[in-house]
Amino acid sequence: MRVCSSVVLVVCAAFGASLGVAVEWTPSDPPGGTAVALAGDGAGTLWVATEGGGVFRSSDGGALWTAVNQGLGSRAAVALARSAGGRLWAGTEAGPYVSDDGGDSWSGPGSGLTDPGVAALALDPASGTPWLATVGGVFTSS
């Protein structure tokens, strides 16, 4: 995951430079360890998944981060996604979790996963249907 994140940053920086745009990065690290995934609401709130600290939320541009892990079954969060309707999904080593209150509380992981450890998470942009990639295969839920 960390290598992929570095590659994405290098590609973004190179792409920005090719457009003649000055790209300057400012650190805004949450306290939970290595950040591996981000989701935002388009109105100034940002969530970050960390490898060891769970999920953190910031509503001030990353100046302050608050842990939002109540009900999250694992602090090893590797994926985040937010639907257009505001539902927040977190993929963890214990499975997928969902929050309808911005991360204040989480429920999950449900049933039917042969190996619950989530490697990647995506939402269908039209329907909001979640898709999970796990060691056990690719899964979806209604």
pLDDT tens, residue by residue, 64-99: 999 999 998 888 888 999 998 899 999 998 899 999
The pTM of the full predicted model, rounded to 2 decimals, is: 0.79
Percent of the chain with pLDDT over 70: 86
Q: What whole-number distance in Å separates Cα of residue 65 and Cα of residue 98?
A: 20
- Strand pairing partners for 49? 37, 55
Q: What whole-number distance in Å separates Cα of residue 24 and Cα of residue 107?
A: 38
* Average per-residue pLDDT for the chain: 83
Buried b (16+ CB within 10 A) or exposed e, 98-127: bbeeebeebebbeeebeebbbeebbbeeee
- Strand pairing partners for 56? 48, 67
Mean pLDDT of 40-53: 91
Q: What whole-number distance in Å separates Cα of residue 18 and Cα of residue 41?
A: 28
Residue 116 has a pLDDT of 83
Per-residue confidence band for 58, with pLDDT thresholds at 50, 70 and 90: very high
